Amino acid sequence: MGSYRIAVFASGTGSNFQSLVDAQASGVLGGEINLLVCDKPQAPVIQRAREAGVDMFVFQPKDYASREDYEREIALELQRRKIDLIVLAGYMRLLTSVLVEPYTGRMINIHPSLLPSFTGKNAIGQALEYGVKITGVTVHFVDQGMDTGPVIAQRAVEVVEGDDEASLTRRIQAVEKQLYPEVVSWFAAGKIRLIDRDVTMEI
């Protein structure tokens, strides 16, 4: 059996991409990051991929007539590389059925709240504004909605007195960097099962 092949989609600094690269280097990821897909040619994550020796598919959405057009091109690249799992790591574009349907149950995302609370952008700011005492991190399957896919794993992060967005973000990101590689390793080991919205893990 060949290695478990992973594609990471990212748009920004690539901190979660880096945590996955580091986990692979230390032998705990259980798979190989075969491709970075990035929609911003100037994004810092591109340099991280270059330094890690990860192949890239970099594109500018404005060069295409529609989202479906560039997603079809991405899908061909994923098929060519026999990608087993798509990992969204700060990819700031909603996906269409062109990618979501063929990779249902094989595409995951990480979100900085305890879903279903505080979906969409600025989840950390939303949590502070609402005044919750506990927020956290969710890894979930991707479906056609905004942060609505079945939940795979969650970790709580306490909101402490005097927290602002910067301090809470730092603590949430520390949890993300630990949790995301762990969840990917579960997939690589064949431990995750999805039936309808029911996610189970075989220990």
Annotated catalytic residues are: 111
User: Are the C-beta atoms of 124 and 168 separated by less than 8 Å?
Assistant: yes
DSSP character for 134? E
How do 151-158 and 85-88 pair as beta strands? unpaired
User: Are the C-beta atoms of 117 and 81 separated by less than 8 Å?
Assistant: no
121 burial type by CB count under 10 A (0-12 exposed, 13-18 middle, 19+ buried): exposed
CA distance 201 to 203: 6
By C-alpha distance, which of 90, 76, 87, 74 is closest to 32?
A: 87
